[in-house]
Structure 1
Amino acid sequence: MTTRLEHVNIAVTDPKATATLLADLFDWHIRWEGAAMGDGYAVHVGTDSAYLALYRPGGKTLGTVARHSVEGGLNHIGVVVADLDAAERRVIDAGFVPHEHADYEPGRRFYFDGPDGVEYEVVSYA
């Protein structure tokens, strides 16, 4: 059996704005957007084979939870890029602060806190 990860669905306050930012940072495209369950709204952004589903629930206020402290909670989203330095320049130009830089076998990485407190790990294996 061949298995691959297709998407991850996360709740955000502004799916359109977050999707536009991620498309710009990572050369992704918006695959779909529209009404979603519970009178919500969703935007799917990514590549032809995988994407993030960015979901805003209808009529609900989103709360925050500290990363790395909740069972089943989202710690970060990892994105692989060909050119880590170019990706970091885009992140900085978008107004975000890279942190936790590391060289490790087999690649290099950094993290940044994006919209809604979602942490992204950007890694290159080049």
Structure 2
Amino acid sequence: MSAPFLEHVNVTVSDPEATAKRLETWFGWKVRWKGAAKDGGTTYHIGNETSYVAAYTPAHKTEAVKESSYSRHGGLNHIAVVVDDLDATEERIKAGGYKTHNHGDYEPGRRFYFDDDDGIEIEVVSYSS
């Protein structure tokens, strides 16, 4: 029996197709599935063979969260993605007009953060030396 692992995280976004395209550009992921979802919404599953982000949007208009998720129970604080080449990934993200912040170089790896179009904070980390 294999050890348990995290298969996916499901987040509500304003445009799941646009989110999918950005994740493909930044991380080389692919759309694994797309289609109708809960409450007449649409979902895109973007990732690799073992894990993915489910980018969901309901049929009705949604509102952006204004308060920090770090200050409320159940908040999604950030999504972390492990990459081999941190510098190249950061360049791709910056080329899209995104500002990176909170760079860190401490055990067990190097990392930085940025916010996507929906205000979801993404941590990018590399454990390569």
Same fold (TM over 0.5): yes
Q: How does 1:25-104 map to 2 (within 5 A)?
A: 25-64=26-65, 65-104=67-106
The equivalent residue for 1:122 is 124
Higher alpha-carbon deviation: 58-67 or 30-39: 58-67
Which residues of structure 1 form unaligned runs of 5+? none
Give the letter aligned to residue 112 of structure 1: F
- Pairwise CA distance, 1:34: 0.7
Q: Deviations over 1:96-118 (max 9, x none)?
A: 00100010111100000112000
How far apart, CA to CA, are the structure 1 residues paired with 2:60 and 2:40?
A: 7
In 1, are the aligned partners of 2:64 and 2:118 still within 8 Å (CA)?
Answer: no
The aligned length equals: 126
Give the alignment's Cα RMSD to 1 decimal. Answer: 1.0
SS at match of 2:70: coil
The equivalent residue for 1:21 is 22
The equivalent residue for 1:10 is 11
How far apart, CA to CA, are the structure 2 residues paired with 1:12 and 1:62?
A: 10
How far apart, CA to CA, are the structure 1 residues paired with 2:63 and 2:38?
A: 15
- Pairwise CA distance, 1:66: 1.9
TM-score (norm 1): 0.96
Give the letter aligned to residue 47 of structure 1: N
1:112 aligns with 2:114: yes
Which residues of structure 2 form unaligned runs of 5+? none
